[in-house]
Amino acid sequence: MTDKPTSETPPTDGGIKETFRTLLLAMLIALSIRTLAFEPFNIPSSSMVPTLLIGDYLFVSKYSYGYGNMGTFWGLIPFKGRLLGNEPKRGDVVVFKTPRDNTTDYIKRLIGLPGDTVQMRQGILYINGVPVDRDRLQHPLTGEQLPPVRTATTDYQETLPGGVTHIIRKEGDNMPLDNTDVFVVPAHHYFFMGDNRDNSQDSRTKMVGFVPEENLVGHAEFLFLSLSDGAPFWQFWKWPTSVRWDRLFTKIR
């Protein structure tokens, strides 16, 4: 009598290897997308209020400015400059590695290009010796999304050279970073500032300073999620009440 074949066949070595190859390929594809195309980031501070809020989650396009050593390859492949690089534009919201440690991610607005002079005088931004236009809003931007404003808080629409307009927040024009020396942006470096001008560690401080082009990570594109302050990402069962629904999939300007 011959043995009858059973309906259940134990997994073969070939099947295990094929599963392993599939998982490895999936991980490589995910890593490639994260390294070369889009990378997610979240906002942990209020330095870009009212443009970006604590609890915002966004995608950054890695290809927008090409690929730098610190911003793309984690310093593992030493080289200067950027591969397939495109020049960032004044007014772009950019994620970069701080020169202080080449590890910490910051997100700020690009203010000064190579060769520019940048200065703050009595709260007014000067680029190349010319004051940047700002128009005061009648009332600061408020709402459930935004943190409460202080009595002296004022929001302005600022128009940078080249025509990019955005909202900045000020708590006065005589704050610690409202009067600075003249900064001359070196070649292959950039000068960044937060939209929350009086509550931002940026290129006006020694903590950041001028940012080398190889430290640029990418251009902030759009929000894919926004959670109320203090709401952990992983507590998805709280999303119906903690998600700021009207901020989802909004383009960052």
Q: Which residues are annotated as catalytic? A: 47, 108
Distance of alpha carbon 25 from the chain centroid:
29
Are 159 and 42 in contact by the 8 Å Cβ rule? The answer is: no
What is the CA angle 7-9-15, rounded to 5? 140
Whole-angstrom distance, CA of residue 193 vs CA of residue 172: 17
Number of other residues whose CB lies within 10 A of the CB of residue 105:
15
Sequence-separated (6 or more) residues with CB below 8 Å from residue 191: 110, 111, 112, 113, 116, 118, 183, 185, 203, 210, 211
| Element of type H or E holding 95 | strand 93-97
Amino acid letter, residue 102? N
Whole-angstrom distance, CA of residue 67 vs CA of residue 153: 39
Whole-angstrom distance, CA of residue 84 vs CA of residue 64: 9
